[in-house]
Amino acid sequence: MSSMNEHHDGAFAPTPQPMDSIASPSASASANIPRYSWWVLAILVGVYSCCWTDRYLMVILIEPIAKDLHLNDAQMGLLTGFAFTLVYSFAGLPFAYWADRKSRKLVLSIAVFGWSIATMLSSLGRNFVTMAMARLGVATFEAGCSPPAYSLISDYFPASHRARAIAIYGLGISFGIWAGLTLGGAVNAHYGWRAAFIVLGLPSLVMATLVLLFVREPRRGQHERTVDRRYSAAQAARLMAVRPSFIGSAFAMALLTITSTSFVTWAPTYLIRARGLDTEQVGFIIGSISGFSGIAGSLAMGWLCDRLAGRDPRWYLWLPLIGFALFLPFERLFFMTTGTWSYVFYFLASMASSTYIAPLFSVGQLVLPARVRALGAAVMLMVLNLLGMGFGSYAVGLLSDHFKPTLGDESLRAAAMWLQISALLGFVCLAVAARSIRRDVEMTERSVSA
């Protein structure tokens, strides 16, 4: 291809685009992104979709698995939340450390192949322990997905297009939720939950092959004026520790996720218990709504970030705050209404909840040097998943069991409402990060130019 330059180690990479400063995403707003970069992004979206398909397949199967294996809500909360994310969070660090030093596409393809096999092995679960072993296998390999993917995206796209590219990558969440809920619910309804794990685990094998055969390793840091140097784990940790915008973004993302996960993970089960729908109905309705609203919210947020953050990087923090402030009342209205209006408010809540991931991950990529970005993404994912997705899902299960004697099938609604408190703490972290992001970007520019 004429748009590709050969790197000294034999890898191919997009032609580097000039940038005046990594602090000014608008500096390369007219950058000509090679077509191959978009093809790579499409493959990464497919990979991320499979990751979330396997994760949300478990969500739609909570009720049938719980009944078949005689598990309570707290145990299912562990399988979908804390136990899963505990392993996921820490497993991401060695994957990221490897990706910052070796071939990112190799790390990614191994991870995709691994979670595909582990997902299919989930069909063999006979009790809590065997299900936990399979799900922890899925968690281990899924941890190797996003750190190398974010690092690849940052080298295929300059800062002027990075938030948009990360937002497009984030569409994998919406596609995956749709596939996991819709297809998983349908397969379960006709063939049982064990067949669902096998059928939806197979596409990941295809994506692992595509990554290995068609994704080329780009030159690191090619869109920044950076010295191609390596950092030790201690040096990388210090770089993150002295950037309040990085720390604030990581904890804001986790705290907001506690609230959003308590909603999106348990809303399908709530509709099955309290509204009397079956898994196929809920999978189709909620899966379709989640997919469409997530795509709309992610694309809109990515476009806005690239437009506004080029003038002031604080918009990376302000836009998530605005989006999530809208989520809170929409979530309450979903539980307070029935019928068509309930689904309208679910759509609005789902769209609002999809607006914070891409901007906050963009902050992590913006304020760190190129050879620390995969590790930085892994640290953000560790905080996000361990505190956010892990605690949120498990806390709902515990609270639901606590409220069930008095509230019955409405116990999940009460549990989710209690966890809105976490979002308010997340707003504080967003404010802290917004105060320091411009200084942190300047600090990174000086460090990589030295």
pLDDT digits (tens, 9 = 90+) for 139-165: 899 988 888 898 899 888 887 787 788
Q: Quick one: average pLDDT of 56-79?
A: 85
**Residue 380 reports pLDDT greater than 70:** yes
Q: Tokens for 405?
A: 């004697």
Which of the residue ranges 1-5, 104-108, 262-266, 405-409 has the most confident prediction, judged by mean pLDDT?
Answer: 104-108
Within-domain flag for 13 = no
pTM of the model: 0.65
Within-domain flag for 165 = yes
**Which CATH number fits the domain that encloses residue 45?**
1.20.1250.20
**Digit-coded pLDDT (tens) for 319-333:** 999 989 999 999 999
In terms of Cβ atoms closer than 10 Å to its own Cβ (0-12, 13-18, 19+), residue 182 is: buried
Within-domain flag for 16 = no
Instruction: Please give the pLDDT value at position 385.
Output: 76
CA separation, residue 7 to residues 14, 19, 44, 394 (Å): 10, 20, 22, 47
Within-domain flag for 202 = yes
Q: Quick one: average pLDDT of 50-63?
A: 88
Phi, psi (degrees; rounded to nearest 5) at 13: -145, 155
Number of domains into which the chain is organized: 1
Q: What is the largest CA-CA distance in the chain?
A: 68
Within-domain flag for 383 = yes
Instruction: Please give the pLDDT value at position 75.
Output: 84
Within-domain flag for 227 = no
Instruction: Please give the pLDDT value at position 109.
Output: 93
**Residue 204 reports pLDDT greater than 80:** yes
Q: Quick one: average pLDDT of 16-44?
A: 62
**Residue 227 reports pLDDT greater than 60:** no
Within-domain flag for 161 = yes
Within-domain flag for 384 = yes
Task: Give the span between the Cα atoms of 249 and 354, in whole angstroms.
Answer: 15
Domain that holds residue 387: 34-216+232-449
**Residue 344 reports pLDDT greater than 80:** yes
Instruction: Please give the pLDDT value at position 354.
Output: 81
**Residue 22 reports pLDDT greater than 60:** no
Instruction: Please give the pLDDT value at position 331.
Output: 92
**Residue 19 reports pLDDT greater than 50:** no
